């Protein structure tokens, strides 16, 4: 069965910001569909989201959701830092 895999890399201004973004987004992504795999890791100031699924639309939907949440985080983080 063919799988779609996407690695989304978000470069933050600092390691602390990357950790905060990971903490902010992780609760939303703990429960994923059975056919989907999801992992998050920090590489210094870069946050990497790895999404894989047998359903391409589900994979893309997850990535778009992460991007939307990251955009909101950036706007809020900019107001508080």
Task: Give this prediction's pTM.
Answer: 0.82
List the one residue out of 32, 33, 43 whose CA is nearest residue 8: 43
State how far the Cα of 52 lies from the Cα of 7, in Å rounded to an integer: 9
The predicted structure's pLDDT at residue 27: 58
Residue 47's CATH number? 3.30.310.50
3-state SS class at 13? coil
Number of domains in the chain: 1
The predicted structure's pLDDT at residue 80: 58
Domain encompassing residue 65: 4-80
The predicted structure's pLDDT at residue 73: 82
Query: In the chain, which stretches have pLDDT less than 70?
Result: 27-30, 79-81
């Amino acid at each position: 069965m063919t799988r779609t895999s996407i690695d989304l890399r978000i470069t933050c201004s600092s390691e602390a910001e990357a950790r905060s973004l990971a903490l902010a987004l992780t609760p939303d992504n703990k429960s994923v569909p059975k056919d989907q795999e999801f992992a998050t890791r920090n590489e210094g100031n870069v946050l990497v989201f790895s999404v894989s699924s047998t359903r391409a639309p589900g994979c893309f939907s997850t990535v778009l959701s992460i991007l939307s949440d990251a955009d909101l985080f950036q706007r809020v983080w900019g107001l508080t830092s």
